[in-house]
Structure 1
Amino acid sequence: MSQSTMTKPGVVSRKIPPVRGGHFLLGSMPDIQRGPLDFFMSTARQYGDFVRFRFFLWDAYLVSDPASIKHVLQENNRNYNKQHVDYQMLKPLVGEGLLTSDGSEWLSQRRLIQPAFHKQRIQGFATVMTTAAEEMLDRWQRRVDPTQPLDITSEMMRITLSIAGKTLFSQDIRAEAGTVSKAFTILSEDISTRLRSPFAIPLSIPTPRNRRFHAAKQMLDEVVDEIILSRRQELASGSTAHSNDLLTMLLTARDEDTGEGMDDALVRDEVSTLLLAGHETTANTLSWTWYLLSENPAIRQRLQRELKDVLGGRMPTMDDLPDLSYTRKVIQEAMRLYPPAWIVSRKAVQEDEIGGYHIPANAVIEMCTYVVHRHPKYWENPDIFDPERFDPERSAARPAFAYFPFGGGPRLCIGRDFAMIEAQLLLAAVASRFSLELKPGHPVEPEPYVTLRPRYGLPMYLSRI
């Protein structure tokens, strides 16, 4: 395996990595537009773990070596930021929130939000999660025509959005869940298209596509603004009903130097970021999990045996999770094959040396989770769904950054524990009551938007266990 070295004055290495050729003007842009996942997978297979390519005018490096990824995200993370086009293009969706901010601004936001995600606090959310699951299961039972398939992706989006609203902001947004999910989908699709083309028409020009984008953003902003206004009015009245939730933390935070609070625009950015990250990633993880279980009935049966042995037909609780080890492995393996955060990007502040290769200042480093999670050097039969990969004896020798569904280093996903607990509880609640089968003949293809979604949805038939 290649070795990484820290940045130091006067980097001497000038070793150049393999270069993937492309169009004389556009570079690899046409290939990426045709299919980002295919592009990154084929590039890594053909050229190796460290490859330079060009996207229009910008040089970028595809890095698939865990040691080099660790160098960028953890060991020398101060030399790599998010100030490049991938994250700048997200700002029309989530503004200056935790996902897109950098430096001291990011650090202050992280410190403010971190207490809401302490493990003890998250454990208190378990009842909210299982109550939402019970309500969803009851609704499934009462369906007018149970012979029709159910779009499981939409169902997972709906329940995780409801949970995010209730746990983080003490808001019942079930009535708005459809509106918010639709808005996020439109915005994510548009931004993903723009990320693949430097020639996209600016949002300021009122084309039909741009008007659709702005209408979706307005729908989202109206929901978020109402949440913020309602809480400001509650706080102004002297109420302490929700004094400890994340929304109140955001609204009552004060700058240490000026004493000023956050303006509504920044609060909106944070709420939008956390609503997006707090529901879409887990919803996609669960959607892919249901698909994989449908395709692998023996694994589904083993999962259901564990759930029957541990739960005996009741709803899961936090106390059950240590005994649901196979349930956790099923989630981990689903995130290996279909990581919601399918790519992580950084920009070099100063020149560096990674794995013996020279990296110039301002170079973009692309670390494709989807590629690394299917790397045959670290995963035997990488395309096969095998939860037992995560048995301790099989995981012990695996490099840490051969698996990084939540990123790594100081910018490790703030909601990692929240997401894992939520995914395990929802999987256990549903799989102990229902088996889900994909509609025969339905095409399944991962679509790399902001997160990795099933392109055509996942219509599934439900059968009661």
Structure 2
Amino acid sequence: MATLAADPQTAAFPHWSEGNPTEADLAHIPGEGGWPVVGNTFKMLADPHGFVAKRIEQFGKVYRNRAFGGWQVALLGAEANELLLFNKDKIFSSEQGWGPILDQLFPRGLMLMDFDHHRIDRRALSIAFKPEPMRHYSGALNRGIAREVAGWAGPKEFYPAIKKLTLDLAADSFIGLPWGPEADKINAAFVDMVQASVAPVRKPLPFTKMKKGVDGRAFLVDYFTKETLRRRAEGGGQDMFSQFATATREDGSLLPVDEVVDHMNFLMMAAHDTITSSATSLIYHLATNPEWQEKLREEIMAVTGGPDGDGNPRALDYDDLGKLDLTEMAFKESLRMIPPVPSMPRRALREFEYGGYRIPAGTMVGINIYWTHHSEEYWDNPFAFDPLRFTPDQVKARHKYAWVPFGGGAHMCLGLHFAYMQVKILLAQLLQRYRIEAAEGYNPDWQDWPIPQPKDGLQVTFTSL
């Protein structure tokens, strides 16, 4: 795992498994530890949002909790989001916060780097999101989405359909692979790794999800290592992987091959599951709010010119992405309603005070994005879908960290503009072809953690216009 041993802020805690405060160290903070051995783990998994609401009612917006093998301190609200995400005084480690969850499968991804190492690699990788590569991705997305959704007429389980499409698009745009058997093998390895990241058995024992995940990682490390060397020798293409493979740091040096591989693994994981979740929640809200669906259709038709003479939707041009104001507001509101990453962990590298409490160095701390996105402190009628919350005036009047689906500060999601682009192109193709409908009163049950998804797959009907 990447560390910054020379940095005194991180040197105090060389690994996330060492130096955790005890119950006695946190006794002055309100809260409780739950059942012997397992703590509150099962209560949290059964109803994560209800669990948080009850704890806030009991203890306030700072409380301690024991789950997943250790003690954590929850810090709730926009001010807490700003403290951890902006991290002005470099108190909090993202690397050591996410380490227990992702270290075996996605080491050295950007989210698992801190401070100077993170800044240097982020700057090198940002080349993949400059206008010229993004223009290339938009062409690939338009072609791939149009090809797939043309056959979606009729009843559909949307979540598995968009999950497959997102993986195929990632293989195309990210790696430059045509859809086919090789892309399918890579996609299967990613699925195994993502499932293993939240598996209850954390050792790669035979027949476990963790074993499948570790095997998937080994396959991808081998594949991406060979491909990185080949693309450097032959010259990179416009796909994201080729951009990463040839990226240079500030001193002009190429990123080490093993770091290119780890960055690629992490980015594919982060992009595929979060975009799948956020696209699904947006389709749900448009299906159940047909008046907003129609407003977005009118805006998209005005920008693209509508279907061509043969009835085929026109592609959404890269230069027109910024013209879809209502579409972007609807997507932002959907991300508020169902944030794809409902909570974020960090680890305190030194003691700090918040909310009147002294929180010791080494404490695992976390913010709850879902709670903040639904708090009446920041939002009127927070459980209603209303994209007009994101007009410029409304945004300006609200706490900057009341809406943080992409994180914030130095660790703001590097691919957020790619996510906006993919979702806008998806809607341009769907809403020029179909009316998206759901049964009267449809309200699916959602799996809330680790990344939200509807338990029934999201049952909608695509009716041709």
TM-score, shorter chain, exceeding 0.5? yes
Alpha-carbon spacing, 1:455–1:99, altered in 2? closer, same or farther (3 Å): farther
The yes-or-no answer on 1:294 pairing with 2:281 is no
Larger CA deviation: 215-224 vs 443-452: 215-224
- Aligned equivalent of 1:270: 263
Residues 9-61 of structure 1 deviation map (CA, whole Å, 9 limit, x = unaligned): xxxxx995542563355432231232323322332354432222233663322
The yes-or-no answer on 1:315 pairing with 2:348 is no
- Aligned equivalent of 1:163: 169
Q: State the shift of 1:133 in Å.
A: 1.9
Structure 1: any 5+ residue segments left out of the alignment? 1-6, 8-13, 141-145, 195-199
Please give the residue correspondences for 1:31-430 in structure 2 after superposition, counting only pairs within 5 Å.
31-55=43-67, 58-76=70-88, 78-84=90-96, 86-119=98-131, 121-140=133-152, 146-147=153-154, 149-173=155-179, 175-176=181-182, 178-194=184-200, 200=201, 202-206=202-206, 208=207, 210=208, 212-219=209-216, 221-222=218-219, 225-226=222-223, 228-230=225-227, 232-236=229-233, 239-240=234-235, 242-243=236-237, 245-252=239-246, 262-263=256-257, 265-313=258-306, 314-430=314-430
Aligned-residue sequence identity (percent) comes to 25
Alpha-carbon spacing, 1:365–1:449, altered in 2? closer, same or farther (3 Å): same
Q: Distance in 1 between matches of 2:425 and 2:130?
A: 18
- Given that 1:349 and 1:361 are in contact with CA atoms closer than 8 Å, whether structure 2 keeps it comes out as yes
* Counterpart amino acid of residue 444 in structure 1: P
Residues 277-313 of structure 1 deviation map (CA, whole Å, 9 limit, x = unaligned): 2222112111111111111122212222222333331
Q: Distance in 2 between matches of 1:69 and 1:172?
A: 40
* Counterpart amino acid of residue 294 in structure 1: A
Larger CA deviation: 295-304 vs 225-234: 225-234
- Given that 1:250 and 1:262 are in contact with CA atoms closer than 8 Å, whether structure 2 keeps it comes out as no
- Aligned equivalent of 1:444: 444
- The total of aligned residue pairs comes to 434
- Given that 1:130 and 1:316 are in contact with CA atoms closer than 8 Å, whether structure 2 keeps it comes out as yes
Alpha-carbon spacing, 1:125–1:185, altered in 2? closer, same or farther (3 Å): closer
- Given that 1:158 and 1:178 are in contact with CA atoms closer than 8 Å, whether structure 2 keeps it comes out as no
Q: Distance in 2 between matches of 1:397 and 1:50?
A: 25
* Counterpart amino acid of residue 40 in structure 2: S
Instruction: Say which of 27, 39, 49 aligns to 2:39.
Output: 27
Q: State the shift of 1:405 in Å.
A: 0.6
Q: State the shift of 1:358 in Å.
A: 1.5
Structure 2: any 5+ residue segments left out of the alignment? 1-8, 10-25, 307-313
- Given that 1:176 and 1:223 are in contact with CA atoms closer than 8 Å, whether structure 2 keeps it comes out as no
- Aligned equivalent of 2:17: none
- Given that 1:251 and 1:262 are in contact with CA atoms closer than 8 Å, whether structure 2 keeps it comes out as no
Q: State the shift of 1:461 in Å.
A: 1.8
- Given that 2:159 and 2:457 are in contact with CA atoms closer than 8 Å, whether structure 1 keeps it comes out as yes
Q: State the shift of 1:345 in Å.
A: 0.8
- Given that 1:336 and 1:373 are in contact with CA atoms closer than 8 Å, whether structure 2 keeps it comes out as yes
The secondary structure found in structure 2 opposite 1:396 is helix
> How does the TM-score come out when normalised to structure 1?
0.83
Q: Distance in 2 between matches of 1:184 and 1:136?
A: 21
Alpha-carbon spacing, 1:257–1:408, altered in 2? closer, same or farther (3 Å): closer
Q: State the shift of 1:183 in Å.
A: 4.3
